[in-house]
Amino acid sequence: MTWSLNEKTNEKEDNSSDIFSHSGKELEPMKFSSGKTQEDIVNETLEAIKEGHKIIFIHGVCGTGKSAIALNIAKNFKKSSVVVPIRSLQEQYEIDYSQRKFILKDDKKPLKISVIKGRANFECPFDCCAASERHLPCIIEIKEKNAPQIFEYLEQNPHTDKTDFENITDVKRINVAPACPYWSPIYPSKTKSKVIEDAKKTPFDTISGKEFSLFERSPSCKYFMQYKHYANSDVLIFNSMKYLIETAMGRKPLTDIEIIDECDEFLDSFSTEKRINVNRLVTALSALHPDDQEKKTVIKDLIHKLNDHLFESDKDVECEKIENTEFQEVIDLILKNPNLAEDEELNYFNNALEIARNFESLLHETYISTERIEPEIEQAGLFGKSHNKEERVFISLVTINLAEKFRELVDKNKQLVLMSGTLHSPEVLRDIFGIKDFKIIQAEEHMPGKIKPVRTGIEKNCAFANFKNGQINRDQYLKILDHSISLATRPTLVHVNSFGDLPSEQELDRLKLHHLISKERLRELQLGQNSQVENFIEKKNDLLFTTKCARGVDFPGDVCNSIILTKFPYPNISSLFWKILRKEQPEKFREFYTDKANRELIQKIARGVRFKGDNVEVLSPDVRVLNGKFE
């Protein structure tokens, strides 16, 4: 394999989502402290694949250049998926490899890399607004309250006659969406309709075995046009949510290799409880009006069963195996009828379908709990007052059999390469995820900068048990945290483990805490458009409190001189997953719980040591942080 990484030099080049030009300066592969280079890691990985290893882990700390390694692996395959857990990492791939750098395949042609994004990232040419606006003909909910707008769209559709529709239940998406001349849907290739008979078809194979096509009626909508990349690009960059939904819908393109960045977070997400909003699912089903009588009957049956859960609280469960509850009937119906909303991409039924498929082979080991949120007559928010007169009901599903969930991922794909600076321990990979046959390839093992723990001398062990037995109280904790911030060298990043670690407005005033903000204020700052991180990076602020920057955002050099952790980052032990694992498999619980906390500690501190020469102080009121391992 020939290493390829080039810095663009043509400033006039169009910054599109694909790389078509390849004029630039060659960049040598990075060399690690072990003497290995990025190119060596790529070659080791390709050799391991040739040897028959289907599951390969690459360990490389922050600053290893794992994205360049991933793409140099990908260029050896016809088509690849790269999966990242959060949007900021996806944006970083886009900036780095569509604007700053490019990679050449061995035939000297540029590697075509495309980032698949959600609607909110595009402008709609039909109405000059965000493509995610709910009034648009391609996504408007087909329900009675939207009838005036829907019938207006029917009039604008040259392929329909408004008089053919007596009721809203007669209307389908394919009747409404063509009001927009730019609407270009993705359907199974065999789909027949007058609306799309003249459309240009771009077919692609999918993991479901079906051939799908983009039916291009006009090239003007960039949101729809990105799906041409499913057929034409060498590498597709997904965020994990989009990847899982496309997989659940069966239309994720068939690829030769899946490369998962920040793989430990991706695997940890298998343990995250999935929530179905019962109210929202009923509304979504009510908006579906299929011609097929069997589908109509299924929808009616689903709504009836869901209404039982909405209005009969005796069906609520705190923590119960799903097979012992009536909600299994709902999941069974969803799984048996996956195509109820196949032409309604944003219908919430597809979210419920993705959740159901998450547990399809594990229903005998799936637990559920019910949560009811009481209606609030009036709620004040940043954008005025909102009214919610309806009690909301959520059903949470979780399984502790993560091994089976990982096996499903393996079975659906040809080859897996998983990368992270904080891999799970080999014991956790074997005991929790059931991975017996895997290979770990070591890239850079040591942080590029220096980490200096700073002790105030008044730190305490902030374990929950010590608050309970009186070894430390909340007032003491808040004062120590405030003191730590006062001693930190600015600019300072404060990782807030949970909102409860911060004082209330009353505590802030009563204890005279001059360096902290209240939990109410942090919630307010993190709602909506949050510019706090940008202001910190641009040095407009020298103190950043956040619950959101554990991964995907870097603060190198003098952007961040100190990092404070409010507590050792143990997961929330009251979550459904940890409760069940602790009860059913206490030894595995301790192993996984500690492993996850240690990985989160490293990730949080790594935000400040991106390059050689970076120096960062670490402070905390919790002595467990200062006694922890930072790499």
Tens of pLDDT, residue by residue over 111-170, are: 999 999 989 999 999 999 999 999 999 999 888 889 999 999 999 999 888 888 888 888
pLDDT the model gives residue 501: 98
Residues of the chain with CATH 3.40.50.300: 450-626
pLDDT of 377 above 80? no
Confidence of residue 432 (pLDDT cuts 50, 70, 90): very high
B/e letters for 433-453, b = 16+ CB within 10 Å, e = fewer, are: bebeebbebebbeebbbebee
Residue 280's closest CA among 346, 224, 198? 346
Tokens 């209005």 -> residue: 311
pTM (2 decimals)?
A: 0.88
Q: What are phi and psi of 436, to 5 degrees?
A: -90, -35
The 3-state DSSP composition of the chain as helix, strand, coil percent (nearest 5) reads 40, 20, 40
Cβ atoms of residues 284 and 348 within 8 Å: yes
* Euclidean distance between CA atoms 493 and 491, whole angstroms: 7
pLDDT the model gives residue 381: 41
Strands lying side by side in the sheet with 186-188: 186-188, 211-216, 200-205
* Euclidean distance between CA atoms 600 and 612, whole angstroms: 22
pLDDT the model gives residue 98: 82
pLDDT tens digits along 333-358:
999 999 898 878 788 999 999 999 98
- What sign does the CA torsion over 601, 603, 605, 606 have? positive
pLDDT the model gives residue 530: 66
- Would you say how long the chain is, in residues? 631
CB atoms within 10 A of CB 188: 17
Cβ atoms of residues 551 and 85 within 8 Å: yes
Tokens 């007052």 -> residue: 385
pLDDT the model gives residue 262: 95
pLDDT the model gives residue 89: 85
- What sign does the CA torsion over 45, 46, 51, 56 have? positive
By CB atoms closer than 10 A (0-12, 13-18, 19+), residue 525 is middle
pLDDT of 91 above 80? yes
pLDDT tens digits along 204-244:
999 999 999 999 999 999 999 999 999 999 999 999 989 98
Residue 352's closest CA among 375, 371, 325, 327? 327
Tokens 């080039």 -> residue: 6
* Euclidean distance between CA atoms 172 and 629, whole angstroms: 57
* Euclidean distance between CA atoms 441 and 453, whole angstroms: 30
* Euclidean distance between CA atoms 404 and 39, whole angstroms: 34
Both ends of the chain: CA-CA distance in Å? Answer: 31
* Euclidean distance between CA atoms 611 and 444, whole angstroms: 12
Query: May I ask the CATH architecture of the domain 450-626?
Result: 3-Layer(aba) Sandwich (3.40)
Q: CA Rg, the chain, in Å?
A: 26
Confidence of residue 379 (pLDDT cuts 50, 70, 90): very low
pLDDT of 388 above 90? no
Residue 492's closest CA among 561, 557, 550? 561
